[in-house]
Amino acid sequence: MSDKQSSQKSMIQKLDLDGYIKRFELFLARPKAVAMMGDINQHYRYIQALSSVTFPLPSPVPTLDRELNLIAKQGVLSLEEIFAFVTICSYLNQLKASKLPEPLGGWIGGIEIPEEVMAILDLFTQEGEINPQKDPELLQLDHALKQNKKETKEKLYRLAHSSTLRDYLVDTQVHYNGGEESLLVRGGFNSVIKATVIARSSGGFFYIVPQSISHLKSRASELQSTKEALIYRYCKEISAVFLKWERFLRFVNQAFDRFDHYQARVSFARAYEYEFVLPSKRKGVKLTAFAHPAIENPIPVTITMSKPVMLITGVNAGGKTMLLKSMLSAVYMSKYLLPFRCDVTQTEVGHFKQIEAVIDDPQSVKNDISTFAGRMQEFAKLFGKEHAIVGVDEIELGTDSDEAASLFRVMLDALQERGIWFIVTTHHKRLASLMASDTRVELIAALYDEERRLPTYTFLQGSIGKSYAFETAQRYGVPIGIVNRAKSVYGEDKENLNELIERSTALEREMREKIGRVEEELHAIEKQKQKLIDEEVELKERHRKAIATLENRYNAATKKAREALKVKESTEGRRLLNVAHKHKAFEPKPLDTPNAVPLKVGDKVKYRSHKGELVGLRGKDATILVDGLKMRVPLSSLKHRGEVAQPKLKPKPRTPKANVNVEKSGASVSVKLLGMYADEAIDTVDKFLSDALVNNLNEVQIIHGTGGGVLSKLIGEYLKRHPKIQKFYRMKGNLGITIVEL
């Protein structure tokens, strides 16, 4: 075992994860180290993809490093060793057929197995034997062996039921001993039958092989030798093919190991309802509803470590050490993408290069080292590390606590500069008070239930906890008289200090509970506010759709009216149509919106489903810029987009002009749209085409210019939808003119 593997095993044991790791290893197809080499983000994407589908599980296979080296040395593999490679390649083919999601599917699909290797896969049965159907000679040998075995059993059966041997038989069964068929007889059998004794039973009886079937045994040995020679020939030929594809076999062996890591993690997570947490780039640990896998029926831990030092104080046997191990375990499991139980949506674990646990008592009589000296050795090693997370249990262990407090305070400060984060448990109030004022220190108190006189195994952030040493001693059976005498020796002043600490903790806990209730109420109010906003948006959208429906109906009705007037001119009809136009032009005053901010040029606005910028204001109308296209819309239909407008110079107003040449017929054959806005251009073209149709013109020209092509595209889309247009096309020469045939 390498030093790295030994260190990993030691860390697993320190964090009480050995049982968890053993359960995980049961899901692996073959033994391997827990850690995965390579890009952790890529591994996470592959695991997430595999978690979304069902997939075939791999069969167990041995580690094949020795076999690969044997192939490279032109050695001959056994049939079992060859079948291990066959199993791997067959499994990869099975995965291809499963159509795994990306990016996993692309990786597995890109593994192409050579035709020579594929031919070897077809030679084997599922049991790992050469398929007799692929070789007539092998088929004949198998048939002969089966026939010989059948004759042997029949001969023994007749002997077992013969009257000559009846008095010496223990039973009439055919026994297998060492792979050979035999009969079980009593002593004196040699007077009635010639046989060879191959073994004795625990009862003193004899397993015999009668000489009458010795020729059948010899025949079976000959057939088996011939078969083994044939199998060896296959092994030699296949090993030669494997030598040719040795690099490919190394590649698929590694690919199988990599997928084995993925499938084992996914299967493990499904079996225990665990979650995967990808380490974040930020340091720190935030656990929500975390459960250490070594604890049965655990109380879920919710804790946040946002500062370089977490100092855990409080009641004895109250879970301080387990909290430390839980924090380090979460970092360890996240680092190696091992799943665990938590609320994954509210859990975040930072990335640390190394994990260290200073937990055990390092005292050693053999090495002549004290507890404190051992602790100093472990701390000295930390000065050679960077960007690690370190857990230290009972930091003041082994020396004068007042001296240790000052020493550890300075060492923790120095190690923080190397990017090392600490989780520390202590009962020493001097160290806690020294570090409490440091803004880089997170205080955690393990809580105690005064009424039940038991630890709660819960924790309060931002407070120093009392040790409750006397209460703990009494809870574990120390007589009350002894405890009371100890309290008097301890001193009234120090007991008062403990009471102040306890009261401070209680007040902190009460304050946090009240803050929690206020936050819940605030959350409910925010939720109600958002609901009202959503309802307002929905009502406005329904109102907009209703207006749009009415406009569509109005446009359809006026269109029919104009068509009717074209057929038969009517003064009354024209008058009613003008009245309808006036009604449409009437716009109701918008509802007053409290605290409404007036729109100004440069504001980011929203018009229906379009987002744009306000570039001009003219009375009740506004000009907006949407995707490079200017539109004139009612000012009341615009809404703020909630973005801060940048000050811009007010553009000079332009007065769009349309130059219409009128012929003697009373209608123009061309119209100029140069300089117009989108809505003005459409209205002008609509009126122009209506006049042309009324005057029976067959062909007209629309002059829109070249420019950026936006106006040309807009006019083209309008003409496609016009029911009276036969065809239209651009005039040659890039003159910016569209010819329309009516």
- Please tell me the class of the 660-741 domain: alpha beta
> Could you tell me which residues come within 8 angstroms of residue 252 by beta carbon, excluding any fewer than 6 positions away?
85, 88, 89, 92, 111, 113
CA–CA separation, 260 vs 502, rounded Å? 52
Strand partners, 672: 703
Q: Environment class of residue 623 by beta-carbon count within 10 Å: exposed (0-12), middle (13-18) or buried (19+)?
A: buried
Of 222, 195, 192, nearest to 206 by C-alpha is 195
Q: Which H/E stretch holds residue 441?
A: strand 441-449
CA–CA separation, 741 vs 727, rounded Å? 5
CA–CA separation, 261 vs 633, rounded Å? 61
CB 228 within 8 A of CB 207: no
Helix axis angle for 40-51 and 246-272, nearest 10°, is: 60
In angstroms, what is the C-alpha Rg of the chain? 44
CA–CA separation, 552 vs 555, rounded Å? 5
CATH for 598-653, among 2.60.120.590, 2.30.30.30, 3.40.190.10, 3.40.600.10?
A: 2.30.30.30
Q: Which residues of 106-122 are buried (b: 16+ CB within 10 A; e: fewer)?
A: ebbeebebeeebeebee
Max Cα-Cα span within the chain: 144
Q: In degrees to the nearest 10, what's the CA dihedral of 5, 8, 10, 13?
A: -130
What was the pLDDT predicted at 568? Answer: 60
CB 101 within 8 A of CB 108: no
What was the pLDDT predicted at 492? Answer: 52
CB 446 within 8 A of CB 465: yes
CA–CA separation, 417 vs 385, rounded Å? 11
CA 593 to chain centroid, in Å, comes to 45
Strand partners, 661: 670
**3-class DSSP state of 37:** coil
**3-class DSSP state of 278:** coil
Say if strands 421-425 and 388-392 run parallel, antiparallel, or are unpaired. parallel
Q: Which H/E stretch holds residue 641?
A: none
Domains 285-478 and 660-741 are alike in CATH topology: no
Low-confidence residues in the chain, pLDDT < 70: 1-3, 315-318, 360-372, 396-405, 429-431, 433-434, 437, 448-456, 462-478, 483-484, 486-509, 512, 562-563, 565-596, 642-667, 707-708, 734
Residue with tokens 């010795």: 214
Q: Which H/E stretch holds residue 625?
A: strand 621-626
Q: Which two tokens stand for residue 478?
A: 């120390």
CB 387 within 8 A of CB 355: no
Q: Which two tokens stand for residue 228?
A: 């083994």
Q: What is the CATH number of domain 133-231?
A: 1.10.1420.10
Q: Which residues of 579-600 are buried (b: 16+ CB within 10 A; e: fewer)?
A: eeeeeeeeeeeeeeeeeeeebe
CA–CA separation, 458 vs 537, rounded Å? 45
Helices and strands (H, E) in the chain, number of each type: 20, 23
CA–CA separation, 575 vs 448, rounded Å? 90
Amino acid at 420: I
Q: Where are the chain's structural domains?
A: 3-114+245-272, 133-231, 285-478, 598-653, 660-741
Q: Which two tokens stand for residue 131?
A: 């398929």
What was the pLDDT predicted at 225? Answer: 94
Q: What is the CATH number of domain 285-478?
A: 3.40.50.300
Q: Which residues of 312-323 are buried (b: 16+ CB within 10 A; e: fewer)?
A: bbbbbebbbbbb
CA–CA separation, 122 vs 85, rounded Å? 13
Q: Which two tokens stand for residue 607?
A: 């018009």
- What is the model's pTM? 0.60
Q: Which two tokens stand for residue 220?
A: 């079976």
What was the pLDDT predicted at 430? Answer: 66
Q: Which residues of 671-702 are buried (b: 16+ CB within 10 A; e: fewer)?
A: bbbeebbbebbbebbeebbbbbbeeebeebbb
CA 485 vs CA 303, 454, 467, 500, 623: distances in Å: 38, 22, 18, 21, 89
pLDDT in tens, 169-195: 999 888 888 778 889 999 888 888 899
Using H for helix, E for strand and C for coil, what is the string for 358-402? ECCCCCECCCCECHHHHHHHHHHHHCCCCCEEEEECCCCCCCCHH
What was the pLDDT predicted at 659? Answer: 47
pLDDT in tens, 347-358: 999 999 999 888
CA 204 vs CA 167, 174, 184, 286, 644: distances in Å: 16, 18, 10, 71, 102
DSSP string, 686-727: HHHHHHHHHTT-SEEEEE--STTSHHHHHHHHHHHH-TT--E
